[in-house]
């Protein structure tokens, strides 16, 4: 039986693994297929695909995007995985360029807030924790705080400064769920709701049908932080809604203290279903009939 892990991050966003390290870890974990889903960038896909081909592992080109969902007059953050996207799609890459610049601006704003709080962190400190090619993010700021000994570990960095509504927290740039799903569809991919059971999006389960109505194609049923009960509920919900089913470890290398790759092993049949859906989307786009981005 073949298995996949469809949510992995590398040094091109906020993971610590190079593409070579990621592929080696996938091989060690006995995976037949992986998805590279770095935040707001596909810059690592080409190198990772070359290494996967040499290792006999299938690569799914992906990306993780942050979207906005308004619920009860409150704006909520939702993470969406684009899987089977065309990383060379010009419109998609232009959008990612905007997101990447917004991420860098967000980091600068966090640094400014930290300085106002008396924490003398600099952008150079943050860049020491990031690959020059990466899409900067909050985790890089957290690592810099640890490296400069302003906090003892990443958990303290988020609890004291960087977590939601903490003193140096800055909201992330994001567009609507519908626009995010449409962008993914136009790049030939499928849009998957990522880790719905994780705070702060917990309590939103009853609104998942609304997210699907806005363009999402599937649900990440299995995730490292989902309990067996949650995964069972999300699987049943996906089946009831006629959605795709995926799963991923959300491995960031050593960034979160533990290497998670392979801790979620998705049966390959679900990869095949997602690929078929993406192929239909691509065919519709080529034929000029992608009138409705929801598939």
In a domain, 167, yes or no: no
Q: What is the pLDDT of residues 278-287, one digit of tens each?
A: 999 988 876 5
Query: Is 293 domain-assigned?
Result: no
How is residue 23 written in tokens? 């592929």
Please tell me the predicted confidence (pLDDT) of residue 291: 42
Q: How confident is the model at residue 106 (pLDDT cuts 50, 70, 90)?
A: very high
pLDDT in tens, 116-140: 999 999 999 999 998 888 888 898 9
Residue 255: the pLDDT is 74
pLDDT at 50 over 50: yes
Q: Are 99 and 67 in contact (CB under 8 A)?
A: no
Do residues 205 and 129 share a domain? no
Phi, psi of 189 (to 5 degrees): -105, 180
Torsion of CA 31, 48, 252, 227, to 10 degrees: -30
Q: Which residues have C-beta within 8 Å of that of residue 48, sequence separation ≥ 6?
A: 10, 19, 22, 23, 36, 59
More confident residue, 287 or 51: 51
30 band by pLDDT with thresholds 50, 70 and 90: very high
Same domain, 152 and 184: no
Assigned token pair, 55? 């290792």
Residue 202 has pLDDT above 70, yes or no: no
Res. 229: pLDDT tops 80: yes
Residue 60 reports pLDDT greater than 90 = yes
The mean per-residue pLDDT over the stretch 47-62 comes to: 98
Least confident of 44-53, 217-226, 239-248, 249-258: 249-258
* pLDDT for the residue numbered 161: 97
- Expressed as residue numbers, the domain containing 121 is 105-162
Contact in structure between 289 and 295 (CB atoms under 8 Å): no
pLDDT at 24 over 80: yes
pLDDT at 72 over 80: no
240-251: average pLDDT:
97
CATH number at residue 239: 3.20.20.140
* Of 216, 218, 220, nearest in space to 266 by CA: 220
Give residue 295's pLDDT: 38
pLDDT of residue 172: 85
**Whether residue 280 sits in one domain with residue 147:** no
108 to each of 43, 126, 265, how far by Cα in Å?
Answer: 22, 10, 37
| Separation between Cα atoms, residue 200 and residue 219, nearest integer Å | 17
State whether 57 and 31 are in the same domain. yes
Where is average pLDDT lowest: 14-18, 23-27, 114-118, 200-204? 200-204
Q: How far apart are CA 190 and CA 244, in angstroms?
A: 9
Residue 61 β-bridge partners: 36
pTM of the entire predicted model: 0.88
Which of 118, 136, 162 is the C-terminal boundary of a domain? 162
Percent of the chain with pLDDT over 70: 95
| Three-class DSSP labels, 201-224 | CCCCHHHHHHHHHCCCCEEEEEEC
Average pLDDT over residues 6-10: 97
Structural domain includes residue 202: yes
Question: Total domain count for the chain?
Answer: 2
8 and 128 fall within a common domain: no
Helix orientation angle between 177-186 and 268-286, rounded to the nearest 10 degrees: 80
Are 272 and 190 in a shared domain?
yes
pLDDT given for residue 215 in this prediction: 96
Distance CA 79, CA 66 (A): 5
Residue 289: pLDDT over 70? no
User: Where residue 112 sits, what CATH number does that domain have?
Assistant: 1.10.150
């Amino acid at each position: 039986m073949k298995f996949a892990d469809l949510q992995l991050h590398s040094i091109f966003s906020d993971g610590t693994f190079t593409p070579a390290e990621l592929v080696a870890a996938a091989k060690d974990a006995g995976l037949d297929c992986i998805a590279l889903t770095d935040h707001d960038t596909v810059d690592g896909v080409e190198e990772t695909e070359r290494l996967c081909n040499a290792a006999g592992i299938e690569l799914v080109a992906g990306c993780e995007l942050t979207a906005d969902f308004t619920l009860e007059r409150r704006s909520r953050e939702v993470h969406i995985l684009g899987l089977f996207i065309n990383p060379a799609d010009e419109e998609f890459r232009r959008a990612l360029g905007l997101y990447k610049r917004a991420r860098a601006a967000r980091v600068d704003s966090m640094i400014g807030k930290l300085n106002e709080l008396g924490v003398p962190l600099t952008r150079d400190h943050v860049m020491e924790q990031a690959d020059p090619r990466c899409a900067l993010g909050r985790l890089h700021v957290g690592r810099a705080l640890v490296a400069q000994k302003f906090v003892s570990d990443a958990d303290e960095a988020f609890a004291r400064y960087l977590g939601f509504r903490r003193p140096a927290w800055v909201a992330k740039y994001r567009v609507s769920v519908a626009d995010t799903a449409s962008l993914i569809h136009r790049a030939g991919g499928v849009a998957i709701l990522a880790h719905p059971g994780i705070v702060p999006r917990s309590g939103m389960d009853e609104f998942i049908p609304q997210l699907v109505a806005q363009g999402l194609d599937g649900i990440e049923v299995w995730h490292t932080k989902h309990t067996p009960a949650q995964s069972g509920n999300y699987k049943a919900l996906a089946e009831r809604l006629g959605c795709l089913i995926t799963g991923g470890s959300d491995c960031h290398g050593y960034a979160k203290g533990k290497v998670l790759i392979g801790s979620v092993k998705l049966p390959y049949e679900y990869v095949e279903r997602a690929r078929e859906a993406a192929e239909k989307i691509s065919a519709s786009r080529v034929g000029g009939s992608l009138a409705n981005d929801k598939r």
